Amino acid sequence: MSFDLKIINGDLSISNGKLKTVEDSEKLIQDILKICLTPAGSNPNYPWYGSFLSKTLIGSTLDEDVIVNYGQSQIQKSLEMLQQLQDLQIKNQQAVSADEQLAAILSTVIYRNPKEPRLFNVMIKALSRGTKPITTAFSLSTI
């Protein structure tokens, strides 16, 4: 079973002087958020990691339907990359539990906030290989 450091609001989570970790479904959710929110090309050592989601949604003058469809496409590509990375971990004999592996993307919903057009809300529903449904959501804005 693999694990990752627990991150809350962009900061490492510490309890009683020890770094908290995440595993299973909680790790899968964190991995989904991490790959979707990391701008592609922002890590010079792994320029292929991340997504163009923020560049797609923020500041675009295209029609809202076009922006949303393209954003959903970016999420799909990023999550497919996550699945490939997880398969590579397993191939390299790293223990990865079924609950932290992405099996299927059930839905991605992107909508512009009606009160603040610079704010986009994103919700992702997926299924782990342990057949646990997971849901996560985040917002992107220029505010």
Report pLDDT digits (tens) over 35-89.
999 999 999 999 999 998 888 777 777 788 888 898 899 999 999 999 999 999 9
* pLDDT for the residue 7: 85
Query: Do the Cβ atoms of 103 and 87 come closer than 8 Å?
Result: no
Find, among 69, 30, 77, 29, the residue nearest to 52 by Cα.
Answer: 77
Share of the chain above pLDDT 90, in %: 62
* pLDDT for the residue 61: 72
Positive or negative torsion for Cα 89, 23, 52, 75: positive
Domains and CATH numbers, the chain: 24-141 (3.10.450.40)
Distance CA 114, CA 117 (A): 6
Query: Do the Cβ atoms of 27 and 127 come closer than 8 Å?
Result: no
pLDDT mean over 117-142: 92
* pLDDT for the residue 143: 62
